Chains A and B, each alone.
Chain A
Amino acid sequence: MSQTPTTSNTKLAERGDLATVLGVDTAGEEDVTWTNLAGRVEPRPDPTFASRGATIRDDLGDRLDPDLLERERERIADEIGRLPDVRAAGVPDEPEGLYTEVAEPGWRLYDHLLEVGFFERLDETLPRFTAEHVETTARELVLTEPLSSALDDVGFDEGEKTALLSAVANDSERLSRWVPSNQIPDDVEFDTSTIPPLHQRAMGGALLWIRGLDRHLWQNEVLVTEEILDDAAWYVKAMLGGLFVSATAAHDLATAERFTDEQLTAALTAGTAVQIVSQEELLHAVFYITDEMRAPSELR
């Protein structure tokens, strides 16, 4: 079942931007999708992507538990599949339950990655989000067929996959505001020693937002509309999509199955990027309920 975002990331203009970032001429075309872009994007190998992927593989490959990663990856996929039922349930009837359960395999994945120093290593190895890094990531992503088919398998239709791709390709400026913790200098006005690694912040943040939905929707039921619930379900799906991409990359890292080193770097970057963009979009669409967005009061 497709869950089209109401705050759409896949508007025509944005798809046009996506095509432009990837260097594909789609003038006049309406059907700009991951799949048709994949057939037209020119590979542009970037040696730094390969070397970074190789470094991460060398550093982390032996530390990861492939069985755990595969198990939680499948469970994340199961939760993605369960989202239509979660959405159909409407406003949660208690402050913990529906969405808390959706986040659980993600938390187990997160805990394992935290334990093995995965996030710190990514911060040390991957560059900051720059327009160039994001563009290369999007290009590699669209060419990574195993990832595309994995997203197909877990229930992302063409429009939804393209939205994930747009979240990566079209948001380089937004993503650049998220800085790896080891690149934040000491002279900012807050203590940098307690700032978690960027990739941990992205994943942990996404999971906190998902889990927080039960409490938020239940407490604010009088403000919540069907549209807000639709957006909640979509952005949770998008965040889980990002987590699934990260889990797929981590599993590949542990098993050396399918990805090239370039694709590994791209998948790790893209998983984080999707988690970041989706949590910020969720914030606006679901948590910041203005008077214009809210359900009309039944009491006045």
Chain B
Amino acid sequence: MALRNDRAVQAARDIELVEIEDGYTLVGGPEESITQQHDSDRIPEVDVDQEMLSNSGEDPESWLMYGGNYEQHRVTTADLITPDTVSDLELEYELSVGTGSSMEGTPIVVPGDPPVMYQTNGPNHMKAIDPREGEVLWSYTYAVPMGVELCCDDNNRGAAVWGDKVYMTTLDSGVVALNRYTGEEEWYTSTADHEVGYSATWAPVIHDGTIYTGSAGGEYGVLGFEAAIDAESGEIQWQTDTLPEDEWVGASREHGCGTTWMTPTIDEERGVLYTAVANPGPDFDGTVRPGPNFPTCGTIALDLESGEFQWGFQSSPHDVWDYDAVAPRVLLRDVDVDDGPSEMVVGSDKTGWVYMMDAESGQLHERSQEICQHINMWEMIPHISADERIPFVPGAPGGNDWQPPSYNPETGYVYVVHQNFPQDLYWRYEEYSEGNPYWGGGLDDPASEMPDEWNESITAFAAVDPATGERVWRDWIESEDEFYMWGGSMSTATGLVFNGTQNGNLVAYDGESGDRLWEHEFDVPISASPMSWYDPGEEKQYVAVQVGGSGWLRQGTRGDTLAVFSMGA
């Protein structure tokens, strides 16, 4: 499939990510969004209904949402690939997506003959793909307005489907709905003003005809929110600010951030969503926003129907290290514990621990053993003198940044990625003089001096028993290039866990022991999270992962590959 004549791909290529003083912006994009159809007639016109979505996690032929299911287990029940057979897993094809920008997404697959994959990458580019051969059926590029402020990259992490539509969040803090059979735009809804710093990068999630989406812009003084949008009309149903007024002093709340910049987790039984809540603002000066800054750097539960606040839990109150909680929450049911909750919300956070919370109340069941090292943790309040710096681990990327964990029903473990790299945080402080900087924060990556205690491994990939918080195994990963590991994992019901590394290796681990059973090496880092499905028409199980460096720091070399592996029956 040649993409050189694809206008949507070309438009995405024309958009340039440009570094500016406090992040990135985009230049050179199209004035209007562009759809390029190739072979859209091949898409079976079978609308996606609620039953399909609710069963997505159980159906081996489906991967209908970012997290695999509403609980965000990221697990496939397809069972051809097992610990005994994984060594036979082979590369089926590599598709060049043609845009070469941020590659952090997880494709979704709608079952059918053929199945249809919807795949996204930066900057706001989507494709419908026949995943049997890797043929592009249509392409779409959203016309991101110039001037968007992006902290970290031009990320888009995936699509959502409902009925005859497919949805994507947009970098200007919106949601766009496309006809999933033709790729043509149906509606666009803005959730907030991108000119004041709001943006959107995650995959939305849809339940009962309502799209749930969040907010980004936590480095630009926004006020975080979660929003519900009617999937048919695009009308906003409710929009709940994350920061309760009575938890903040005066107007400090107005720029208090607390954004929600990853896909929320849906609890169909309770009728609530759980979402991670990011850092407070301003990032580094806590004196202007006293108190715990509830519920920043934590987890909240909101009612699906009304957006009403249920509970919140903080892993780093009054944060000044950018320890925003952001990885998708994982909802577990029937956890085998003696006394206590059997239904848990698991949060793997930048603080370097995994938190098991009672889904009903938010009370902590247990905190895990440490996943990354903890060196000079939570130092520097009160602010230290201007010249002093303390290297600290986890650094600002964590711990667990946005990389989604996975849950393996076969082992009962949750698998998490934590960075383990020393950084310096410092405060500039000087008497004010007209025209000169007064005070502020800065982050040095790497730390100016590496602490003796640091083990020189940049990342840890680990299995955690949610019943006890035990760190069952841990794979320390080194990177000669000192790239961060920037993607999440996927589990199989047969007991495997797949994860891509910053060194370009897609690895299949034995979920029980942590042994590496299979690896495939790419020449650029993997910054995305894999997924899998079974195609009865081909009698094959597939594993797909996007390949290419991405992210906020130490992203590594760019790539534009969608890699699909397969194993026959």
By a beta-carbon cutoff of 8 Å, the part of chain A in contact with chain B is 95, 114, 171, 173-174, 177-179, 181, 183-185, 187-191, 193-196, 200-202, 204-206, 208-209, 212, 215-216, 218-223, 279-280, 283-284, 287-288, 290-291, 294, 297, 299-300
Q: Which residues of B contact A216 (CB under 8 A)?
A: 292, 314, 317
**Cβ contact within 8 Å between B437 and A187:** yes
CA distance A283 to B290 in the complex (A): 11
Q: Mark B276-318, 1 if CB is under 8 A from A, else 0.
A: 0000011001011011101000000000000000010110011
Question: 9 closest A-B pairs (Cβ-Cβ)?
Answer: A205-B290, A208-B291, A204-B249, A196-B250, A190-B282, A194-B251, A174-B382, A299-B468, A288-B378
CA distance A221 to B341 in the complex (A): 14
**Cβ contact within 8 Å between A190 and B221:** yes
- Known contacts A177-B429, A191-B221; is-contact A209 B291 (Cβ 8 Å): yes
CA distance A300 to B354 in the complex (A): 15
Q: Can you list 13 A-B contacts with CB-CB less than 8 angstroms, sorted by A residue number?
A: A177-B383, A177-B429, A183-B432, A187-B438, A188-B439, A190-B221, A195-B288, A206-B290, A212-B247, A218-B363, A219-B357, A222-B366, A297-B468
- Closest chain A residue to B439, Cβ basis: A188
**Cβ contact within 8 Å between A299 and B469:** yes
**Cβ contact within 8 Å between A185 and B364:** no
The secondary-structure label for the interface of chain B is loop
Q: Which interface residue of B288, B366, B467, B469 has the most chain A CB atoms within 10 A?
A: B288
- Known contacts A188-B440, A209-B292, A288-B378; is-contact A220 B364 (Cβ 8 Å): yes
| Least distance between B243 CB and chain A CB atoms (Å) | 12
Q: B14 near A: Cβ within 8 Å?
A: no
Within 8 Å by CB of A178, from B287, B318, B364, B365, lies B287
**Cβ contact within 8 Å between A287 and B292:** yes
Q: Which interface residue of B292, B311, B337, B432 has the most chain A CB atoms within 10 A?
A: B292
Q: Which interface residue of B318, B366, B440 has the most chain A CB atoms within 10 A?
A: B318
Q: B254 near A: Cβ within 8 Å?
A: yes
- Known contacts A189-B282, A284-B378; is-contact A201 B290 (Cβ 8 Å): yes
CA distance A193 to B234 in the complex (A): 34
**Cβ contact within 8 Å between A201 and B252:** yes
Q: Which residues of A contact B366 (CB under 8 A)?
A: 222, 297, 299-300
**Cβ contact within 8 Å between B367 and A284:** no
CA distance A294 to B252 in the complex (A): 31
| Least distance between B238 CB and chain A CB atoms (Å) | 24
Q: Which residues of A contact B439 (CB under 8 A)?
A: 179, 188
User: What's the A-B contact tally at a CB cutoff of 8 Å?
Assistant: 141
| Least distance between A74 CB and chain B CB atoms (Å) | 25
User: Given contacts A202-B290, A205-B291, could you give 11 more A-B pairs where the C-beta distance is less than 8 Å?
Assistant: A95-B311, A200-B250, A205-B249, A208-B247, A208-B291, A283-B381, A288-B378, A290-B377, A291-B370, A297-B469, A299-B468
Q: Which residues of B contact A221 (CB under 8 A)?
A: 363-364
Q: Which residues of B contact A171 (CB under 8 A)?
A: 382
Q: B470 near A: Cβ within 8 Å?
A: yes
Within 8 Å by CB of A185, from B249, B251, B314, B432, lies B432
**Cβ contact within 8 Å between B290 and A189:** no
By a beta-carbon cutoff of 8 Å, the part of chain B in contact with chain A is 22, 221, 247-252, 254-255, 281-282, 285, 287-288, 290-292, 294, 311, 313-314, 317-318, 337, 357, 361-367, 369-370, 374, 377-378, 381-383, 385, 427, 429, 432, 435, 437-441, 467-470
| Least distance between A173 CB and chain B CB atoms (Å) | 7
| Least distance between A235 CB and chain B CB atoms (Å) | 14
**Cβ contact within 8 Å between B317 and A212:** yes
**Cβ contact within 8 Å between A283 and B318:** yes
Q: Which interface residue of B285, B311, B361, B369 has the most chain A CB atoms within 10 A?
A: B285
| Least distance between A281 CB and chain B CB atoms (Å) | 9
Within 8 Å by CB of B249, from A177, A179, A208, lies A208
- Closest chain A residue to B290, Cβ basis: A205
CA distance A297 to B281 in the complex (A): 33
Q: Which residues of B contact A218 (CB under 8 A)?
A: 363
CA distance A178 to B435 in the complex (A): 21
CA distance A78 to B213 in the complex (A): 47
Q: Which residues of B contact A173 (CB under 8 A)?
A: 382, 385
CA distance A220 to B365 in the complex (A): 8
| Least distance between A30 CB and chain B CB atoms (Å) | 28
Within 8 Å by CB of B367, from A177, A181, A222, A283, lies A222
CA distance A280 to B378 in the complex (A): 12
**Cβ contact within 8 Å between A280 and B469:** no
**Cβ contact within 8 Å between B288 and A280:** no
**Cβ contact within 8 Å between B382 and A300:** no
CA distance A151 to B440 in the complex (A): 38
CA distance A216 to B295 in the complex (A): 11
**Cβ contact within 8 Å between A188 and B438:** yes
Q: Which residues of A contact B282 (CB under 8 A)?
A: 188-190
- Closest chain B residue to A279, Cβ basis: B290
CA distance A299 to B339 in the complex (A): 10
CA distance A204 to B246 in the complex (A): 10
| Least distance between A236 CB and chain B CB atoms (Å) | 14
Q: Which residues of B contact A114 (CB under 8 A)?
A: 250
Q: Which residues of B contact A179 (CB under 8 A)?
A: 287, 439
Q: Which residues of A contact B337 (CB under 8 A)?
A: 299
Q: Which residues of B contact A215 (CB under 8 A)?
A: 294
Q: Which residues of B contact A284 (CB under 8 A)?
A: 378, 381
**Cβ contact within 8 Å between A219 and B313:** yes
CA distance A192 to B170 in the complex (A): 29
Q: Which interface residue of A181, A204, A294, A299 has the most chain B CB atoms within 10 A?
A: A299
Q: Which residues of B contact A195 (CB under 8 A)?
A: 251-252, 288
CA distance A219 to B337 in the complex (A): 18
- Closest chain B residue to A190, Cβ basis: B282
CA distance A222 to B254 in the complex (A): 34
**Cβ contact within 8 Å between B255 and A196:** no
- Closest chain B residue to A198, Cβ basis: B287
Q: Which residues of B contact A202 (CB under 8 A)?
A: 290
**Cβ contact within 8 Å between A291 and B374:** yes
Q: Which residues of A contact B285 (CB under 8 A)?
A: 188, 190
| Least distance between A100 CB and chain B CB atoms (Å) | 11
Within 8 Å by CB of A196, from B251, B318, B437, lies B251
Within 8 Å by CB of B365, from A196, A209, A222, A287, lies A222
- Known contacts A191-B221, A220-B364, A223-B364; is-contact A300 B469 (Cβ 8 Å): yes
